[in-house]
Amino acid sequence: MSIALTTADQPCEHILRAGNTNCAGCGMSLGLQLLEQGLDGARPTLAIPACCGIVTAGAFPTSGYGVPVAATTFASSAAVATGLSTIAELNEETEPVICWAGDGGTYDIGLATLSAAAERNENIIYICYDNEIYGNTGGQRSSATPEGVRTTTTPKGKCEVKKDIMRIMTAHRIPYAATLSIAHREDFLQKIRTAAATRGFRFLLLLSPCPTGWKSEPDESVDLIEYAVRCGLFPLYEVFDGERYRVNVRPDGTPLEEYTSRQRRYTSADVDLGHLQSEILKQWRLLDGLCNAFPAEGKMAGRAPKRN
């Protein structure tokens, strides 16, 4: 039965094999390598919906992944992962089940599925690599696309604001939620370790540069994320049980232009940097308020799943 075959199905020490199909400078490439390092030798099973992340595997019968992968329908990764992790649990297998999904599969078409898996506190690590567009289909808008940004379906710049998926996910009071930066390796690895050591639903958001869609230089991808964190656009923080907050890196006054001027997607006349800057300040007022009111102190244990 040929659906079952992958010629490269001998064990491989890496999650992401050399020779995959990612564009140069794709945030996924570094993201998957850091994921592997953070997992400290654990061998995950991945559920990947329709997105660039499944094209990464390349064409049958080869695979760019060195771990088992279920290529799911676009909206279904969290539900397929529910089935996989349920059977793993019933068989006392402890290797993690991880969803690796784009923003389209997370913020848009897969949101109901994701919300339901989070509400049930399934034993899954869900990682959204957020490139803020539908990369696989050629760079259309998603509800993760920032205000003002040009995509193939927002040729004059997007009118609406980016959806705050972290607030949505933490509102489910999942055991662990955190943001990840490919420019902050130690922070990234620490969060993967925390996620791996926690049971129940864990949500990780990775801002993932996409030189192809962002119209940026492939060799500047890591720098871009560094600027995004330093100017405060992409806060690095963790939330335990949806109610205890910790900020990991504070903005240092780096101007937003350092980030936007290196991406031609930000060249629409509608991009208003002053407005975007005031949105960043608002975001930090909210986050600081939450951190002060509900601080995460010491070692946090997440809410373990209950089953009956």
Ligand X SMILES: Cc1ncc(C[n+]2csc(CCOP(=O)(O)OP(=O)(O)O)c2C)c(N)n1
Binding mask 182-211 for ligand SF4 (x = CB under 6 A): ----------------------------xx
C-alpha pair distances (Å), 249 with each of 30, 194, 208: 20, 17, 18
| Token pair of 139 as six digits | 């760079």
Considering only 27, 66, 105, 211, the residue that binds ligand X (CB under 6 A) is: 105
**The pair of three-digit structure tokens given for residue 176, joined into one six-digit string:** 């662990």
Q: Assess 135 for contact with ligand X (CB under 6 A).
A: yes
Check residue 26 for interaction with ligand X (CB under 6 A). Answer: no
Nearest approach, Cβ of residue 69 and ligand SF4 (Å): 16
Cβ-based nearer residue to ligand X, 224 or 287: 224
Instruction: Give the contact letters, 89-128, x = binds to another protein (CB under 8 A), - = no.
Output: -xx---x----------------xx-xx---x--------
Q: CB of residue 26 vs ligand X: minimum separation in angstroms?
A: 9
Cβ proximity of 260 and 228 under 8 Å: no
Instruction: Say which residue the tokens 């600081």 belong to.
Output: 288
Residue 206, interface with ligand X (CB under 6 A)? no
Q: Which stretch binds ligand SF4 (CB under 6 A): 19-27, 36-44, 141-149, 165-173?
A: 19-27
| CB-count exposure of residue 67 (10 Å: 0-12, 13-18, 19+) | buried
Report in angstroms how near the CB of residue 27 gets to ligand SF4 at its nearest.
7
d(CA 127, CA 129): 6
Residues with Cβ within 8 Å of 85's Cβ and at least 6 positions away in sequence, in order, are: 97, 122, 123, 124
Task: Classify the C-alpha dihedral 37-232-26-118 as positive or negative.
Answer: positive
The interface with another protein within residues 36-55 (CB under 8 A) comprises: 43, 45, 47, 54-55
Q: Are 94 and 100 in contact (CB under 8 A)?
A: no
Q: Does 50 bind ligand X (CB under 6 A)?
A: yes
Q: 125 and 99 in contact (C-beta within 8 Å)?
A: yes
Q: Is 118 in the site for ligand SF4 (CB under 6 A)?
A: no
* 3-class DSSP assignment, residue 236: strand
Of 294, 187, 202, 284, nearest in space to 235 by CA: 284
Minimal distance in Å, beta carbon 94 to another protein?
11
266, containing H or E segment: none
Distance CA 179, CA 212 (A): 23
Contact flag: residue 149 with ligand X (CB under 6 A): no
- Which two three-digit tokens encode residue 192? 């993967």
* Site for another protein contains 84 (CB under 8 A): yes
What letter represents residue 303's amino acid? R
Q: Is there binding between residue 32 and ligand SF4 (CB under 6 A)?
A: no
Q: Which spans of this chain sit near another protein (rule: CB under 8 A)?
A: 1-6, 9, 11-12, 43, 45, 47, 54-55, 57-61, 63, 65-73, 75-76, 78-88, 90-91, 95, 112-113, 115-116, 120, 307
Residues of this chain that bind ligand SF4 (CB under 6 A) = 22-23, 26, 28, 52, 131, 135, 210-213
Binding site for ligand X (CB under 6 A): 50-53, 74, 102-105, 131, 133-137, 142
